[in-house]
A and B are shown apart, each in its own frame.
Chain A
Amino acid sequence: MSPNKVKSEMSDPVLVIGAGVAGLTVAVELADSGVETVLVDRETSVGGNALNLYKAFPTDDCFYCFESNRSRPGIRKCFYRSALLDQPNIDLRVDTEIEELNGEPGSFEIRLKQGPQYVDPKKCTMCGACTELSDAFSLLSPQCQPQSVIFNPEKEDEGSSKAEEECPTGAIDLNAESTETTLTVSDIVIATGYQEMKPNQIDEYGYGQYSNVITQLELAKTLDPNGPSHGALVRPSDGAQVRRLLMVQCVGSRDENYHPFCSKICCVFALKHANIIRRERNGTDVSVVYMDIRTYDRHERYYREAREAGVEFTRGRVSEVTPLEDGTLDITLYDSLLDKYFKTNVDLLVLSSALEPSTGMTKMIEELGLESASGYVSPANLLDTEVVAGDHVYACGGAIGPAEVPESVTQARAVASKILQERM
């Protein structure tokens, strides 16, 4: 840093936008080093894309006990829980968005808007009494953090106010209103991740039209023992057991009409899912239609294991999807290696849909005067580290492009160390 900068600015907290794996890691690393951190997420739970994902490559561990917690052994196995509850330097704000961004590098003025906190997560014990009385209360995921039920005002019914009265801890306030806070922060960390593209526009697959056409993220939730079907591989149309499943790679990725880039990790998680299904869901056939399988570096093992597990691979593309009365789908495929067209019937068609920048990224990149790379944050200097996006602005994880968890965590740690170096 330049010597004429005033030291006092150093006491301003760091703003971390997005509480996925990357944002959580930055926040914890900084907080553990004594730096105050404001961690915001627009969702009501932290975790981002890693919520409800069941097993994670490369170790096949549960997502919530994965990678980042290694440096904090002995407290509790789960990194998120211990970090969020025990670390006083983290000011976590869920259901919060950045309303305004002003000021200058080193001293940004931020206006935050937090949605109404109907349920106080510090008081809620997740006893479940309110969810029995009213449909407006629900638990997003058993793994959600903060550990608390949420209230959806659109579903408010007669039971809602009774639940408010009867909550044993007095956690519910149905009259809660949204609040705004203005604060000054020294640095901004963009950890906004990515979102899976909804492939409605690619007509040949019928996504959004036929209920048994889903995405990989939707499949991940189905396979998750904590998910809606408790891990049973069933068809969305009628809950029937899936016997045959077909995956299609590169849906909306590597496609100039949607996203020109390779989403990088969809081959690996498609094969992870294929292997789980072959190994743990007896008797279900899995085929993968691909144009290239890109299981980069160490992940090649998932490809080999998939072949061993009996996953079928077709190098080609889908011609046509036709729904039948019984809910199954007739699929015509072109196999470019054999130069033959094939027909098959499946219960579930799973699309490996592109991973695109989170909603609002374009605006944020513009407001902070950063460079964009296909909508993701581009490094300020391509030859230097990829995590520096601008002056006192950093980015890590999915915010700079599709990335796996270990990569996101490594980048997040690089951000934390950059910020700490600046402050020395």
Chain B
Amino acid sequence: MAKTEEKTVPPVTLVDPIELSELDRDFREEIHSMPNGEELGACFACSTCTAACPIANSWDYKPHQLVRMILLGMRKEVLASDEIWLCLTCFECQERCPQNVRVTDILFDCKNLAAEEGRIPPNVAELGKELVEQGQLYVITADWEREDLGLEPSLPGLQTEEVRNMLKKSRTGRMLGEDD
């Protein structure tokens, strides 16, 4: 019998699969144990949340995919995603979810987890700082508009001192105030 040349070439890799064992299997439990995560495991991937979302069209990861990623343990990808910050918190997804998964609230929890790891998008951090420092988010700039309406140039009686003090001592204050 003719001897065939034996080759031990690795098979051509057509796909680049994610190694399941390398995912963070505790992530699911981490979210599940939070007050909003109770029904997380009930998700049956119907995608009603994504159908309901007014903004997900432009997202790489849709709401139902984010939930799936949490269930699978894709912690890094979820917490590094822009989507959790782009969420409008309109609650449409949560309102319609047939399995009572608190989608919006869970995305909120993800934001908190990301923030604790220092992953806050610069524009959000900027807003946060403004809030901590000014005690208000929207400072009056165009006072000519107020003038046209016959209003005083600044808001009469506006006191932000107390709010500022409180916010400085809050988690937001601690997280954003450090580099001052």
Q: Mark A334-363, 1 if CB is under 8 A from B, else 0.
A: 101001010000000000000000000000
- On whether the beta carbons of A336 and B47 are closer than 8 Å, the reply is yes
Q: How far is the CA of A111 from the CA of B52 in the complex (A)?
A: 50
Q: Is A257 an interface residue (CB 8 A)?
A: yes
- Interface segment out of the listed A270-278, A299-307, A314-322: A314-322
- On whether the beta carbons of B62 and A317 are closer than 8 Å, the reply is no
Question: Min CB distance, B94 to chain A, in Å?
Answer: 11
- On whether the beta carbons of A317 and B47 are closer than 8 Å, the reply is yes
- On whether the beta carbons of A257 and B64 are closer than 8 Å, the reply is no
Q: How far is the CA of A319 from the CA of B150 in the complex (A)?
A: 45
Given A317-B46, A317-B47, A341-B96 contact (CB < 8 Å): no
Question: Min CB distance, B59 to chain A, in Å?
Answer: 10
- On whether the beta carbons of A317 and B51 are closer than 8 Å, the reply is yes
Q: Is A204 an interface residue (CB 8 A)?
A: yes
- On whether the beta carbons of A319 and B99 are closer than 8 Å, the reply is no
- On whether the beta carbons of A317 and B48 are closer than 8 Å, the reply is yes
- On whether the beta carbons of A334 and B50 are closer than 8 Å, the reply is yes
Contacts of B50 in A (CB 8 A): 317, 334, 336
Q: Is B165 an interface residue (CB 8 A)?
A: no
Contacts of A319 in B (CB 8 A): 51-52
Q: How far is the CA of A422 from the CA of B71 in the complex (A)?
A: 53
Q: How far is the CA of A317 from the CA of B48 in the complex (A)?
A: 6
Q: Is B35 an interface residue (CB 8 A)?
A: no
Q: Is B4 an interface residue (CB 8 A)?
A: no
Q: How far is the CA of A250 from the CA of B44 in the complex (A)?
A: 13
Q: Mark A228-265, 1 if CB is under 8 A from B, else 0.
A: 00000000000000000000001000111100000000
Q: How far is the CA of A255 from the CA of B64 in the complex (A)?
A: 16
Q: How far is the CA of A179 from the CA of B99 in the complex (A)?
A: 47
Q: Is A220 an interface residue (CB 8 A)?
A: no
- On whether the beta carbons of B100 and A257 are closer than 8 Å, the reply is yes
- On whether the beta carbons of A316 and B51 are closer than 8 Å, the reply is yes
Q: How far is the CA of A34 from the CA of B51 in the complex (A)?
A: 58
- On whether the beta carbons of B46 and A291 are closer than 8 Å, the reply is yes
Q: How far is the CA of A341 from the CA of B65 in the complex (A)?
A: 15
Q: How far is the CA of A257 from the CA of B60 in the complex (A)?
A: 29
Q: Is B98 an interface residue (CB 8 A)?
A: yes
Q: Is A400 an interface residue (CB 8 A)?
A: no
Question: Min CB distance, A63 to chain B, in Å?
Answer: 31
Q: Is B13 an interface residue (CB 8 A)?
A: no
Q: How far is the CA of A257 from the CA of B42 in the complex (A)?
A: 14
Q: How far is the CA of A319 from the CA of B64 in the complex (A)?
A: 14
Contact of B47 among A254, A256, A257, A291 (CB under 8 A): A291
Contact of B62 among A254, A255, A339 (CB under 8 A): A339
Contacts of B47 in A (CB 8 A): 291, 316-317, 334, 336
**A-facing residues in B31-71 (Cβ within 8 Å):** 42, 44-48, 50-52, 57, 62, 64-65
**B-facing residues in A201-222 (Cβ within 8 Å):** 204
Question: Min CB distance, A51 to chain B, in Å?
Answer: 31
Given A317-B51, A336-B64, A256-B46 contact (CB < 8 Å): no
- On whether the beta carbons of A318 and B51 are closer than 8 Å, the reply is yes
Contacts of A389 in B (CB 8 A): none
Q: Is A163 an interface residue (CB 8 A)?
A: no
Contacts of B51 in A (CB 8 A): 316-319, 333-334
- On whether the beta carbons of B98 and A204 are closer than 8 Å, the reply is no
Q: A333 — nearest CB in chain B belongs to which residue?
A: B51
Q: A257 — nearest CB in chain B belongs to which residue?
A: B98
Q: How far is the CA of A319 from the CA of B54 in the complex (A)?
A: 9
Contacts of A317 in B (CB 8 A): 46-48, 50-52
- On whether the beta carbons of A256 and B99 are closer than 8 Å, the reply is yes
Question: Min CB distance, B50 to chain A, in Å?
Answer: 5
Q: A252 — nearest CB in chain B belongs to which residue?
A: B98
Q: Mark B120-141, 1 if CB is under 8 A from A, else 0.
A: 0000000000000000000000
Contacts of A255 in B (CB 8 A): 98-99
Q: How far is the CA of A341 from the CA of B55 in the complex (A)?
A: 11
Interface centre among A254, A333, A336, by most chain B C-beta atoms within 10 angstroms, is A336
Contacts of B65 in A (CB 8 A): 339
Question: Min CB distance, B76 to chain A, in Å?
Answer: 21
Given A317-B48, A318-B51, A319-B51, A256-B98 contact (CB < 8 Å): yes
Given A317-B48, A317-B51, A318-B51, A341-B99 contact (CB < 8 Å): no
Q: A256 — nearest CB in chain B belongs to which residue?
A: B100
CB-defined A-B contacts under 8 Å, sample of 19? A204-B96, A254-B44, A254-B98, A255-B99, A256-B98, A256-B99, A256-B100, A257-B98, A257-B100, A291-B44, A291-B46, A316-B47, A317-B46, A317-B48, A317-B51, A318-B51, A319-B52, A339-B62, A339-B65
- A residues near B, CB below 8 A? 204, 250, 254-257, 291, 316-319, 333-334, 336, 339, 341
> Knowing that A291-B48, A316-B47, A319-B51 are A-B contacts, what are 6 other residue pairs whose CB atoms are under 8 Å apart, sorted by A's residue number?
A254-B98, A317-B46, A317-B47, A333-B51, A336-B46, A336-B64
- B residues near A, CB below 8 A? 42, 44-48, 50-52, 57, 62, 64-65, 96, 98-100
The 9 closest A-B CB pairs, nearest first, are A317-B51, A255-B98, A336-B47, A334-B51, A291-B46, A319-B51, A317-B48, A256-B100, A334-B50
